[in-house]
Structure 1
Amino acid sequence: MAYLDTGRGRVYYEHHAGEKLPVLLIHAWAMSTRVWDSTLSALQEAGHSVVAFDHRGCSQSDKDFDDFSIGAVAGDAVAICDGLGLEKVAVNGWSLGGAVATEVAHRIGGRCAGLILTCGASPRYTQAEGFPHGGTADDVRATVAAIRPDRASFFHGISRAVCARPVGEAVLDWMWSVFMEAAPGADRTLGELATIDQRDILAALDVPLLSIVGSDDVFTPPGIGEFAAQIAKRPRLVRFEDCGHGPMFEEYDRYCAELLGFLARLE
């Protein structure tokens, strides 16, 4: 167990040693490092070093930060990588974690070996000129407002909408329990998806990109990940048919195969 001391609060992280290229895993909004446990096992078995952390306000990280922005979360990730002395790292972000991952890749520059967007909310999450994908900024704001009156019921419903394929009640209940560890401050991180625009950043990244989308994803429409692959310099797009927002849960074997195959081409 380790913590990054930001000077304004602590961020929980894990570093699992390995001989191969380190992989930084960035979880979705209001979740935790634990959502990566099965993926982490596959990466470790393949020999990779793995780093994962809890966003500000989530799980084992402190809940009373002043700044919960996507940029602040990305800054924590960069500081963790710097503290570990990682010269090269592949960055994998799920959902909102995709926006964090793109910002991390931008900040570390040539130290980024590759970027993976797992149903990632990048380069945008809402519609804009030249970007017809996703919902509207008002939709995001309405979602944030809907959380406040009854967080338990809200997260219960969200946990049951993540996957399009049956994954079992135990998995759904587990996801609900993870969501319930997130503090209200983390809602401000979600709120930033209303306006964040990373199109220029993503288009400028000269790193291999793996964009994984689920055809039945109700949180990050596949058009977002497809757009990311269209503007990236060195893209690979993988579409999981009949899959929702959690390919690592819904199609674990294929997800790991795609991820490990991509990483093998980076070394």
Structure 2
Amino acid sequence: MGYLEVEGTRRIYFEHYEGSGRPVVLIHGWGVTASCWDNVVPALLANGNEVVTFDHRTCGRSDKDFDDVSIEAIGSDVAELCAHLSLDRPVLNGWSLGGAVAVDAASRLGSQISGLVLTGGASPRYTAAPDWPHGGGVADVEGVLAGVESDRATTFKAVSSAVCAVPVSPEVVDWMWAMFMAMGPRGGDTLRSLADVDQRKTLATIEVPVLLLHGRQDAFVPFSGAEAAVGLWPDARLVEFEQSGHAPFVEERDKYLSELVGFLNR
């Protein structure tokens, strides 16, 4: 584990696991922490991969009082972390909001990465537009954030309960809830930033292979958006998780790991 200064003296927390295989950077979703990957990291280490996880600005063990908490700022953190650790052409894997972060970082790193994975990724858009009929609206985002501001614990418990379509134990919901509760007060601005992001032009500039792993029952990032997005990449493949909601790495873990490891071993 370690800390990297990315905005003055403000730091992000990261964990770096050595390995002889292809490096992988795991980028978590909004409001949670690197611990969301706890059921994924052991399989990647067993596959020989070098693995990096980190907590976004304002999340988990990273500093909370950042001035800039935008998607672009977190994307720049990923690029800086890759350089700091001298990663050799890593694959970036972003979950949910982390998918938009991964796309931003990929656009910065170019040929310095070897692949991109979007796990229920909120890219190229999270909110709907006249020419993008997938997702909710900015008002929906503000409604969630109003709930967080007025009743943080209850709102995050409801969000945690809605992540999975496959029935999971109360302990899994509580695990997610605890991660959300570790987010700092500026974290809402990261979700507001996502609501304004449109990465459609960026997608065509990313020339590495792309794997989209997406739940058919996803209530946060509609599967129809992933179907529309896959055609915007020069080299992309979409894998459907028929039973899963927003967290296929929890809901259909064996299939998820098989697809991810197969992509990494290409």
- Distance in structure 2 (CA, Å) of the matches to 1:256 and 1:212: 10
Alignment-mate amino acid for residue 3 of structure 1: Y
Aligned positions of 1:149-160 closer than 5 A: 149-160=150-161
Percent identical pairs in the alignment equals: 48
Q: Deviation of residue 141 (structure 1)? A: 2.2
Alignment-mate amino acid for residue 187 of structure 1: G
SS where residue 43 of structure 1 aligns?
A: helix
Aligned positions of 1:171-250 closer than 5 A: 171-250=172-251
Judge conservation of contact 2:215–2:243 (CA < 8 Å) in 1.
Answer: yes
Alignment-mate amino acid for residue 50 of structure 1: V
Q: Deviation of residue 223 (structure 1)? A: 1.5
SS where residue 38 of structure 1 aligns?
A: coil
Structure 2: gaps (5+ residues): none
Aligned positions of 1:73-84 closer than 5 A: 73-84=74-85
- Distance in structure 2 (CA, Å) of the matches to 1:65 and 1:123: 25
Deviation string 1:75-129 (CA, Å, 9 cap, x unpaired) is 1111111011113010000000000000011000001111100000000011123
Structure 1: gaps (5+ residues): none
Alignment-mate amino acid for residue 238 of structure 2: L
Indicate whether 1:53 and 2:31 are aligned: no
Q: Deviation of residue 228 (structure 1)? A: 1.9
Alignment-mate amino acid for residue 2 of structure 1: G
Q: Deviation of residue 146 (structure 1)? A: 2.2
SS where residue 265 of structure 2 aligns?
A: helix
- Distance in structure 1 (CA, Å) of the matches to 2:225 and 2:33: 23
- Distance in structure 2 (CA, Å) of the matches to 1:193 and 1:13: 22
SS where residue 103 of structure 2 aligns?
A: helix
Aligned residues between the structures: 265
Aligned twin of 1:34: 35
SS where residue 240 of structure 2 aligns?
A: strand
Q: Where does structure 1 differ by over 3 angstroms across 4 or more consecutive aligned residues?
A: none
Deviation string 1:110-159 (CA, Å, 9 cap, x unpaired) is 01111100000000011123211111122222222221001000001111
Deviation string 1:225-252 (CA, Å, 9 cap, x unpaired) is 2222111110110011121001011011
